[in-house]
Each structure stands twice: as structure tokens, then as C-alpha cells.
């Protein structure tokens, strides 16, 4: 398995398990606090999704059972008692052991039967005292459990009934520890003609065979007796050494955003001060001082690169977990889905990636479960049997855009509105006034769900409200577009608080600007006579295409329109050919300085009006602030 994915899983699982421990302690001290129950539920729900995505089924199954208890508590059907708190903590302890097993190279498979038995007892109304008595009897021989392999005749009419009869016959003489496949599959007749039981009993092998062969349609019995385990004394130091050597190390730490921001701001201040000292050194022409400043400049560049690398990573670190997840979900739901990933090389702030990962998991699972139809449904409406799910990331102005699109059934507005009214989220009067977009946004409300059945994937009303909360906490927004019968798009807009982009530095008469290199077609020098006037605008015949020419300095009030063109000293002018989503145009500048890799910072709310022309700003090596042009604004 990919080590990067494992490290992400270890980091995020420890974070969620810690949150579970802390919030359960809060709940223990304040059992009436339903808000903390919801927080516990969300952490468990996210952890379950992570575990299932990584293929750790026992981990996901135990978390799902714990969710069932939490769901009863949240619904008011189960009071928060010390026994409930104990069983939740026991679940968390088991989950921590499972994660430790994965870190040691395993698959998170531990014996959690006693815990699951307690959960089932709580949900069925059995007291834990009654359960303890039955467990003492049932588990006394589990260490020496027999493996019973049972084959039922191929031509048997009711194989599931025969299998259940076998288990019922054995229960009177011992304890069935485990079934393969699980009981649900056996009862649904989804096991072919073979099943395996782990069975703890004092009966002999011959006695068991006699019991089972008395049942009609049982064709063959094979019983394996486990070998007695010899106790082995292991030196404590040796055991510790073995544990350390087998454990997969997570060689990364999480650093609060505030610390890195503070470090970056301090570094920028040092660059400004170094620039001032550099000017003084050139003024006094101190050769030795200049040599040391050059060395300091090299060190500053190394520090800058380290800081940038700390913050910026390709979004593929999140995206690459989804192909396996979508494949698994599609198989479970009986769907065919083609996943397309676009823009995985888009660089995003590391802190944003850490925070947004869980939200993307929710949105993708939502698209697979609710959005894309089954093969039969798609065929009925004339769609290809394979649904298309697109995950895309790109930079747009001063935002990072992440889109999850699918060509499924779309959002049923009437159904969403009806469900919101029936759940008391809004009144009928309020519903009549809502716009189409406002109706879509109802699905982001806490507790809202259109699913009829609670499953591993949906139906609990958990997910989209968490996504919205996370995105808003990052200063972004979640937009929903949908067309019934054709599909939906969930668009995440996140501010580009810090991003590395390749840019071209240019200069007008008075000011330097940067423009993203990805929007530049080429830089040329043209004769002034080549520029013509068409309908009051300066235009140029550029490669058999008429494009508008814009004097950048005149746009920002540095002089009259056409100042550079009217300058008789210059016969040629530099022009930057730029493209955006709508058109190609040219920018007249005084000087094209060259390419730079720059750090893009948001201008913030104070300069919100400037976003029409600028997508952000950067600080160059000399400490000067340079505005970054938004190519879509021209």
C-alpha cells in the first residue's frame, strides 16, 4: 500500500481518535449535552469512512456499530449512563488497537467480539449484567475453538435454512465464535454451498459430526482441531526491540497554521531589512560586507524554498485516495462509475489539504450514493450504463476551485423541499419563497437526509453540514449547481491564502506587476504602426486574428490613454499576449522584466474592491510589494 496514504491515515486517525476520547469525557460530565454527541458522531462517521476507504473492514464495522449506539443516544431513545460511556470508551480502545496493528504491518484485525456483543446487547435491551454471565460461559473455551467446515448438497432447495439448522444444533452444546461468511450472508443464501464455523465446545469431534450429519442435505463435514499453544517467555527488551522494528514510523508532524504564518511573516520582514542593508553596503562600497550579504542572500533563498515547500503540496495527495474508494462503493451499490481526475498537480496550501480531505470524502461518497444511478435506472432513461464522476482542481483568480461533478439523477427540488418541511427545518410559507439555489442549500442543513434507509453510506443526516462548516472555517464557500435528470456539481471555492505560481514580471511607467505565466501566450515587440483603431479601440492583427490592445499604465491612471504609443522616442513597444477564458488580448507595457516564481497572497477583505483587477499580491526579494493581475478582468 502507498506509504503516503498510510501516513495520512495514521495522522488523521490519531486526530479523530483523540477527538473521540476528549468529547466522550465531556459527555460523561454533561450527559444532557446533545451537541457533543453530534461531535462524537461526526468524528466516528469520518473515521469509519477513512477505514473503509483504506480497506480495513473490521475497523469500519466496529465504528459502524458504535455509531448505532450514538444514533440511539442522539435520538433520545437511549439515556447516557456510565455503562454507555464505558462501552463507547471500549470501542475507542479497540479502534486504537486496530490502528496500532496496522502500524505494525497488519490489517487491523483484533478480537473485538466482547465489545460487539455488548453493543448488540445494549441495542436489544439486554442488561450488561446478563451479558457478562453469558460471556463468561461462552468465551471460556474460545482459545481452543474448532474450525468446522460444512458443505451442503448443491441440489438442496433451502441451503440457508440447512445452514441455520446446523448452527442452531451446535448452539446447544457450545458457543459459535465466528462464521465465514457472516450471518447476514448466510441468512440471505449468499454463501454457495459452503460455510465455516469457529466453535468452542467440550464435545468431541465425533460427537459434533454426529450432530451435524443428522441434518438432511449436509453433504460433508471437516473439523480441524487447533494445536495447543505453548507459552513462550520473551525478554522484555527483546520484545520492545521487535515492536519498534516492525512499527511503521510516521515521520511527519502537524504544525498549527498560525505558527507557519508567523514564521513566514518574520521571514518577509528579514528580506526587507536585508534589502535595506544591501542598499547601504552598495552606498559605502564595502567589498567584504557585500560578500557576506551575497552569502546571506543565498541562505535566504534556501529558507524561502523550505517555507514554501512546507506549505504547498499537490492536491493529488488527497485525490489519489479516491479511485479505490469509488471502485469499492460502486461495487457495493451495484453501479458502474468512471472516475476522471483533472488538475491533480494543482498546488494547494498544506493546511487547506489537511482540513479539506474529510469534506472531499463526504462529497464523493454523496455523489456515488445519491447522485449516480444504478445500471438499470440509467438504461431506463437512455443514459450510458456507466456513470461519469469528475474530480477537478484549478486556480481561478485568487481562489482554488475544487469541483465534484456527476452525470446522475440531479437534485429533486420538490423532494428536498418536502423533506425539509416534514423535518421542521423550514415552514411551508418559508419554502414557497425559496429560490432554486436556496432549495439546494437545504441539503447542507444539520440532520437533513433524503435517504429512506440508514446504511454505511448515508441516511444519518451527517456529512454535508460538516463539509459546509469546514469550508466556511477556511474562509471559503460551497456552491451547488444541479439539473434534474442530468447531474450535479458541488463547487468548493477556497481563498488562495498562500500559493506558488510561475509569473511574468512586467513594468509600466511607474509600477511593477506580475501576471500568471499560464495565461501568457507570448511576449513580443511590435511596430507602433501595426496597431490600428477599430470602433474606438486599439487592435492588432495577431496571427490572422484581430485582438484588442490595452495600455496597462493608462488602465491604472498613470497617464493618458496611448501614452506609450505617443512616445516618439520609442518606435517599438513591448506587448504581452494574454489569454483568459473569454478571449485573447494584448497588454502594452514599458518593460518585460522576466519570469519569477512568486508567493501569491490574498489581498483580504479590506481590498475586496480591488479583486476586479488583482488576484493577490506578492513580496519580491527586494522587499517590495507587487500586485498580481487577474487576467480574467480585462
Q: Which residues are catalytic?
A: 45, 67, 366
Pairing of strands 572-579, 520-527: antiparallel
Q: From CA 499, how far away is CA 516, in angstroms rounded?
A: 12
Instruction: List Cα–Cα distances, 146 to 196, 203, 213, in angstroms.
Output: 10, 10, 17
Q: From CA 116, how far away is CA 122, in angstroms rounded?
A: 10
Count of other CB atoms within 10 angstroms of residue 282: 12
- Whether the CB-CB separation of 578 and 584 falls below 8 Å is answered with yes
What is the layout of strands, in order, in the sheet containing 194-201?
174-180, 194-201, 146-152, 218-224
Strands (E), 158-211: 174-180, 194-201
* Dihedral pair phi/psi, residue 97, rounded to 5°: -65, -40
Cis peptide before 605 (omega within 30 of 0): no
- What counts of helices (H) and strands (E) characterise the chain? 22, 22
| HSE-CB for 285 with a 13 A CA cutoff | 0
Q: Taking Cα atoms as reference points, which of 373, 419, 367 lies closest to residue 391?
A: 367
- Whether the CB-CB separation of 172 and 201 falls below 8 Å is answered with no
Q: From CA 236, how far away is CA 546, in angstroms rounded?
A: 81
- Tell me the three-class secondary structure of 105-170, residue by residue: CCCCCCCCHHHHHHHHHHHHCCCHHHHHHHHHHHCCCHHHCEEEEEEECCCCCCHHHHHHHHHHHH
* Dihedral pair phi/psi, residue 412, rounded to 5°: -80, 100
Burial 576-602 (b: 16+ CB within 10 A, else e): bbbeeeeeebbbbbbebeeebebbbbb
Torsion angle, alpha carbons of 298, 303, 305, 307, to 10: -170
Amino acid at each position: 500500500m502507498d506509504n503516503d496514504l498510510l501516513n495520512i491515515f495514521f495522522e488523521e486517525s490519531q486526530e479523530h481518535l483523540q477527538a473521540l476520547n476528549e468529547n466522550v469525557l465531556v459527555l460523561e460530565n454533561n450527559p444532557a449535552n446533545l451537541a457533543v454527541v453530534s461531535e462524537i458522531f461526526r468524528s466516528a462517521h469520518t473515521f469509519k469512512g477513512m477505514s473503509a476507504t483504506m480497506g480495513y473492514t473490521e475497523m469500519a464495522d466496529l465504528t459502524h456499530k458504535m455509531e448505532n449506539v450514538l444514533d440511539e443516544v442522539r435520538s433520545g431513545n437511549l439515556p447516557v449512563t456510565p455503562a454507555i460511556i464505558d462501552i463507547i470508551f471500549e470501542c475507542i480502545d479497540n479502534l486504537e488497537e486496530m490502528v496500532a496493528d496496522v502500524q505494525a504491518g497488519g490489517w487491523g484485525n483484533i478480537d473485538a467480539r466482547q465489545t460487539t456483543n455488548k453493543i448488540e446487547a445494549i441495542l436489544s435491551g439486554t442488561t450488561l449484567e446478563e451479558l457478562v454471565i453469558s460471556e463468561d460461559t461462552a468465551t471460556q473455551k474460545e482459545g481452543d475453538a474448532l474450525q468446522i467446515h460444512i458443505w451442503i448438497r448443491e441440489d438442496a432447495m433451502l441451503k440457508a435454512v440447512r445452514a441455520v439448522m446446523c448452527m442452531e444444533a451446535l448452539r446447544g452444546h457450545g458457543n459459535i465464535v465466528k462464521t465465514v461468511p457472516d450471518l447476514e450472508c448466510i441468512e440471505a443464501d449468499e454463501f454457495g454451498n459452503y460455510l465455516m464455523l469457529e466453535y468452542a465446545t467440550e464435545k468431541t469431534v465425533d460427537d459434533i459430526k454426529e450432530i451435524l450429519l443428522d441434518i438432511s442435505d449436509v453433504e460433508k463435514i471437516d473439523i480441524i482441531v487447533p494445536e495447543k499453544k505453548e507459552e513462550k517467555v520473551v525478554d522484555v527488551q527483546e520484545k520492545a526491540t521487535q515492536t519498534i522494528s516492525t512499527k511503521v514510523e510516521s515521520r511527519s508532524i502537524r504544525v498549527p497554521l498560525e505558527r507557519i504564518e508567523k514564521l513566514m511573516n518574520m521571514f518577509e520582514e528579514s528580506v526587507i531589512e536585508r534589502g535595506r542593508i544591501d542598499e547601504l553596503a552598495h552606498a559605502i562600497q564595502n567589498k567584504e560586507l557585500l560578500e557576506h550579504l551575497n552569502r546571506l542572500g543565498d541562505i535566504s533563498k534556501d529558507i524561502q524554498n523550505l517555507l514554501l515547500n512546507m506549505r504547498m503540496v499537490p492536491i493529488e495527495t488527497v485525490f489519489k485516495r479516491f479511485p479505490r474508494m469509488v471502485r469499492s462503493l460502486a461495487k457495493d451499490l451495484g453501479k458502474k462509475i468512471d472516475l476522471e481526475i483533472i488538475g491533480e498537480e494543482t498546488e494547494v496550501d498544506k493546511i487547506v489539504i489537511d482540513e479539506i480531505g474529510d469534506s472531499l470524502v463526504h462529497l464523493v461518497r454523496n455523489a456515488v450514493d445519491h447522485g449516480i444511478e444504478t445500471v438499470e435506472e440509467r438504461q431506463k432513461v437512455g443514459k450510458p450504463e456507466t456513470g461519469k464522476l469528475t474530480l477537478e482542481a484549478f486556480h481561478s483568480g485568487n481562489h482554488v476551485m475544487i469541483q465534484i461533478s456527476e452525470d446522475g439523477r440531479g437534485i429533486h427540488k420538490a423532494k428536498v423541499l418536502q423533506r425539509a418541511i416534514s423535518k421542521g427545518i423550514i415552514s411551508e410559507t418559508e419554502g414557497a419563497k425559496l429560490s432554486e439555489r436556496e432549495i439546494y442549500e437545504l441539503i447542507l442543513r444539520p440532520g437533513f437526509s433524503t435517504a429512506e434507509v440508514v446504511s454505511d453510506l448515508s441516511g444519518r443526516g451527517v456529512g454535508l453540514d460538516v463539509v459546509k462548516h469546514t469550508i466556511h472555517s477556511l474562509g471559503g464557500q460551497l456552491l451547488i449547481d444541479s439539473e434534474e435528470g442530468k447531474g450535479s456539481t458541488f463547487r468548493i471555492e477556497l481563498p488562495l491564502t498562500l500559493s506558488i505560481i510561475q509569473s511574468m514580471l512586467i513594468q509600466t511607467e511607474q509600477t511593477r506587476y506580475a501576471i500568471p505565466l499560464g495565461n501568457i501566450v507570448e511576449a513580443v515587440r511590435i511596430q507602433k504602426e501595426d496597431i490600428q483603431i477599430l470602433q474606438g479601440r486599439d487592435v492588432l492583427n495577431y496571427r490572422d486574428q484581430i485582438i484588442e490592445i490595452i495600455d496597462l499604465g493608462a488602465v491604472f491612471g498613470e497617464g493618458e490613454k496611448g501614452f506609450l504609443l505617443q512616445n516618439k522616442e520609442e518606435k517599438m513597444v513591448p506587448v504581452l499576449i494574454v489569454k483568459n477564458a473569454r478571449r485573447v488580448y494584448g497588454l502594452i507595457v514599458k518593460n518585460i522584466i522576466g519570469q519569477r516564481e512568486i508567493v501569491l497572497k490574498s489581498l483580504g477583505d479590506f481590498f475586496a474592491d480591488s479583486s476586479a483587477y488583482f488576484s493577490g499580491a506578492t513580496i519580491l526579494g527586494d522587499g517590495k510589494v507587487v500586485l498580481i493581475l487577474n487576467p480574467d478582468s480585462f
